[in-house]
Amino acid sequence: MAENYSFVCELNGTRIDKFLTENIEDITRSAVQKIIDENNVTVNGKTVSKNYKCKAGDSIEVVVPDAKPLEAVAQNIPIDIVFEDEYLLVVNKPKGMVVHPANGNSDGTLVNALLYHCGDSLSGINGVIRPGIVHRIDKDTSGLLIVAKTDKAHIGLAEQIKEHSFSRAYEAVVYGNIKEDSGTICQPIGRDSKDRKKMAVTMKNSKPATTHYEVIKRYGDFTHVRCILETGRTHQIRVHMSYIGHPVAGDPVYGPKKVITRLNGQCLHAKHIGFVHPITNEYLEFESELPEYFTSFLNYLENK
């Protein structure tokens, strides 16, 4: 069903596409521009172009049409499977791979690869776009995640995540020299009120979040750390480390404006995962080697 929005502009000079991107949750600027091009945006009762500059007092009406349903298709994409049985898989996701299809990333995702590898043997709890996906890691975060093949396995794994009995440890390189050898960040995370595409430490519409960190090695202007998640909020490590003044190196969203381009995204790797098998009740633990982009950056810091 189409969604309708009404706004009154308070400032002069902001482009209409920028204004709507900032005021409509979870929408991209390109999607806004398409909506404008399709005459679904009016200002004071008249359609406008995407470069229209708003005036204070403008009455803006927006109709966001129904998104066309995505269909995930099987694709023969190699994936690194660390463990597999008839109930679940543990996959080592490479940096740059999106976990599941979404607008702007309709193929080439981990789900497309899983559909080719597993066929119909994936949990259906999260629907046709996210079959088997119990938890996610960001596109530019590498490392381990679990995929459920059956609904029973999915429910059991999801319950462990909810109860925080599911262990996850990451390694990251962060900006700055962390003075303490270890610490805990216990701050709630929710949508950033100034930018709906970002998360932030906030008391408004947030959820509790706890990250423990330990210093592995210091490199002057950077620190190699291990982060252990007690909760699993969106962008949790990236938000928490930025909050204490040590954003993840290469992070284009929560780090400095001048991004380390050689990293192609944040230097963050999901290294360890531990859980009770939801069917056999066996405790399983897996470790992933640091990928080349990560070790290369550590070597650079060691030798600079």
**Which residues carry out catalysis?**
138
Q: Report phi then psi at 273, rounded to 5.
A: -145, 140
CB of 259 within 8 A of CB of 243?
no
Task: For residue 212, count other CB atoms closer than 10 A to its CB.
Answer: 15
CB of 24 within 8 A of CB of 16?
no
Between CA 233 and CA 88 the distance in angstroms is 23
**Gap between the terminal Cα atoms of the chain:** 56
Between CA 2 and CA 65 the distance in angstroms is 4
Helix residue ranges per DSSP H, the chain: 16-23, 29-37, 110-118, 151-162, 236-243, 292-303
CB burial string 34-46: b at 16+ within 10 A, e below? ebbeeebbebeee
